[in-house]
Structure 1
Amino acid sequence: MTLVMTAAERERFLADLHVGILSVAGEDGRAPLAMPVWYLYEPGGEITFATGQDSRKMRLIREAGRVSLVVQNEEMPYGYVSVEGEVTSVRQAHPDERRALAERYLGAEGGAAYLESTKDVAHTMVIVHIRPERWLTRDYGKQTG
């Protein structure tokens, strides 16, 4: 029996609500940068997330041109999806995109409060698009017992 997810399972898992850990190559002599991110994904599409246009994370993403993202179940049955891909575009974040991310993770009320608390930096936010290319997965719920 394999614990590897099918293509449909891995895409559904990635589309579910998880905080992702984004990794990108670091500068010479430094380890890769790994940071939690809120993201959006629809099966068959690209992964998108917001970040500050002048952040270290964004500078490294521009230099590397590719990233990896890991999402996991933190409760049993454990499972994860790790995906690597190319950055296909970076563009100014639209308020509706920021709202969609905030509400996905915090709900309508919490999302509105988050957007209000970050309104002074909203103009510095960009949306990064990643095309998934390589996948690693495990679903420990597939174990027989």
Structure 2
Amino acid sequence: MQNMSRDEWWAFASDGTRTGKLATVRVNGAAHVAPIWFVLNEQDGYDEVVFNTGAESVKGKALRRDPRFSLCVDDSTPPYSYVVVQGEATLSEDLDESLVWATKIAARYMGEDKADVFGKRNAVPGELLVRGRITKVTAHANVAD
């Protein structure tokens, strides 16, 4: 097993259409984990995870109440690798900003040819843009080696 550098974990988490598994905490203290589409972004000297979610979803409600989250991105084939980031979310309902990011996210997961359609579908009232400032990263490659 080897620790990944910042460049290595960034490339790993951004590769292809790997989804993230987002962990938040429900109001009763129970953990909630859900797969998400996301992109990474460098913003004013810090790294962030950017994604959309419904304002009334479990994720949306949890992040409004407590902005802390964890996100795991993994490769489930040998020799296995993973990245876990911890962060603090800022939520926005700005539809113009949401459209920019929803389109970038859609391009990653659905392809450039469908990015505009999916971007517009996800940048609507009732959807939140989540910009999660990364505060800690644990990243290991070749876990089974």
TM-score (norm 1): 0.80
1:54-93 alignment to 2 at 5 Å? 54-87=56-89, 89-92=90-93, 93=95
- 2:50–2:101 Cα contact (<8 Å) kept: no
Unmatched runs of 5 consecutive residues or more in structure 2: none
- Aligned counterpart, 2:133: 131
Q: Which aligned segments of 4 or more residues in structure 1 are displaced greater than 6 angstroms?
A: none
TM-score (norm 2): 0.80
1:1-145 alignment to 2 at 5 Å? 2-17=1-16, 18-28=18-28, 31-42=30-41, 44-87=46-89, 89-92=90-93, 93=95, 94-112=98-116, 114-115=118-119, 118=121, 122-140=124-142, 143=145
Unmatched runs of 5 consecutive residues or more in structure 1: none
Task: Give CA-to-partner distance per residue, 1:82-134, whole Å, 9 cap, x none.
Answer: 011112x2112432221111121011334455457x37x72221111111112
Which of 1 and 2 has greater Rg?
Answer: 1
Q: Which structure's residues are more often strand, by fraction?
A: 2
Q: Percent identity?
A: 24
Q: How many residues align?
A: 138
Q: Which structure's residues are more often helix, by fraction?
A: 1
Q: Secondary structure at the match of 1:123?
A: coil
